[in-house]
Structure 1
């Protein structure tokens, strides 16, 4: 019988050990792939959805990528119906497509904040006062004891905007809007206008006003939020329903979200999401 020499045997054993070590190596792991999701939100919910999606991507799933389109509530419905987006957020639930029902989830509460220049001495108005002002029946601040402010400059949002719909329904009723009203195309332009015009009055989503966020071109926004019928705009008054221009912000889809969007919705409606919603100036449901 042929015997191996000690050097040959040592080399053979080393080769076997090397082969065995290679065999035990961990298999290569697949490279994570970013997943992209397109959402849509109206002007009231856009800052909220941007904050929620950014936080979710940072703390829960760094491979989730969200693009959020902004549009009026009817635009939200159009994009959902076409299937170009799978999830929306809106302050005004649009009519569902024929024969279908929206999947809805209550996301947060906010209010339509009535705003004036920061230096306006008036702290509150009644709904009747607002109706008179926005109808043009009263057009000078002297009617409210503020002669130095001059004429009242009324600013409104465009037809179809969620805040405009709520304001017209609750405040104006069947009263026509004054022809002198100036239409503001965005939240930012509304905030800018009221910041720059001492005699101005307008309205905007509560989170944008209470947060005093920057307006267009980085303008430092300074406005005053008025109490209505003696009720201040606070989270507590929104939850209790005492604030007259409170409204619900909804997540909306044609179908119940699935996959990663379902995970995002569950997180947004859970404790972490609610804490972030409150920090952004919105109110949450009990």
Structure 2
């Protein structure tokens, strides 16, 4: 007489089905710059399509977050929109594109360019109305970046401003927040990624970038090295690059990625 329990075949079926769930994926986590994240999200989708079984998780939060997560090992790659500092040892930056920072105003504002001193006075709260600068009667509203954002650091350094001296009406995080804030206030001025700004302008958002030192904020000026407030967009690793992270960085720096980079109004880096 058999001693096998009557429910044993059912147990086998349950065990078999439990092993037939969703297939396991290799996962790559990237965190950091809100400037870089939209581009990387698109590149990640392309990379996944070329590599079945791979999942790429992209999270923004600012360049500082990306650096911290890479150091802590919670992200394989950090997205940053500035150069590494001398004190950020043990990290390696891999350039994937070039961008710049654009001063941004509402499309109704007739101003086309500001001097460095005018920018400083505006952000220090020394100019209260646009009539002091151009033929436009509107109260100046300063849209400023929050701490931990590389765009903030690059902007302050270029215009020789101290963060404590900026009289902000609104503090924002991601570029899209800044763009929406300026689009909703004819008297507002802010600063964001050129790529992010020009992408939204192409979608009809009522904002415009201002020239710096007589140079318009566009990809051509960045590619030619003429735009003064330019920067590299980087993927950062801790230690040597290897494994899935190395494969993704190689893809992001390859000619295959150039069309995506240009779609985001950034400038591809040739032979990085």
Same fold, judged at TM 0.5 (above): yes
Alignment of 1:117 with 2:106, yes or no, is: yes
**82, 91, 102: which one pairs with 1:92?**
82
Do 2:101 and 2:194's aligned partners in 1 also have CA atoms closer than 8 Å?
yes
Give the structure 2 partner of residue 283 of structure 1: 267
Alpha-carbon shift at residue 121 of structure 1 (Å):
1.4
Give the structure 2 partner of residue 56 of structure 1: 47
Give the structure 2 partner of residue 40 of structure 1: 31
Unpaired runs of 5+ residues, structure 1, are 1-30
- Give me the whole-angstrom Cα distance separating, in 1, the residues matched to 2:257 and 2:246: 14
Unpaired runs of 5+ residues, structure 2, are 1-21
Alignment of 1:165 with 2:153, yes or no, is: yes
Partner SS, residue 111 of structure 2: coil
Aligned residue pairs, count: 249
Superposed CA RMSD in Å reads 2.5
Give the structure 1 partner of residue 217 of structure 2: 233
Do 1:96 and 1:102's aligned partners in 2 also have CA atoms closer than 8 Å?
no
- Give me the whole-angstrom Cα distance separating, in 1, the residues matched to 2:95 and 2:219: 16
Find the structure with the greater CA-based Rg: 1
Do 1:88 and 1:252's aligned partners in 2 also have CA atoms closer than 8 Å?
yes
- Give me the whole-angstrom Cα distance separating, in 2, the residues matched to 1:240 and 1:220: 27
Alpha-carbon shift at residue 209 of structure 1 (Å):
0.5
Alignment of 1:104 with 2:93, yes or no, is: yes
Q: What TM-score, normalized to structure 2?
A: 0.83
Which stretch shifts more, 198-207 or 129-138? 129-138
Alignment of 1:77 with 2:67, yes or no, is: yes
Q: What TM-score, normalized to structure 1?
A: 0.79
1:142-153, aligned counterparts within 5 Å?
142-148=131-137, 150-153=138-141
- Give me the whole-angstrom Cα distance separating, in 1, the residues matched to 2:40 and 2:181: 25
Give the structure 1 partner of residue 178 of structure 2: 190
Alpha-carbon shift at residue 95 of structure 1 (Å):
5.2
**Would the alpha carbon gap of residues 179 and 196 (structure 1) be closer, same or farther in structure 2, given more than 3 Å must change?**
same
The superposition leaves residues 67-113 of structure 1 with CA deviations (integer Å, 9 ceiling, x where unpaired) of 11212222212111111111122113455888x52122111111111
- Give me the whole-angstrom Cα distance separating, in 2, the residues matched to 1:126 and 1:41: 31
Do 1:73 and 1:94's aligned partners in 2 also have CA atoms closer than 8 Å?
no
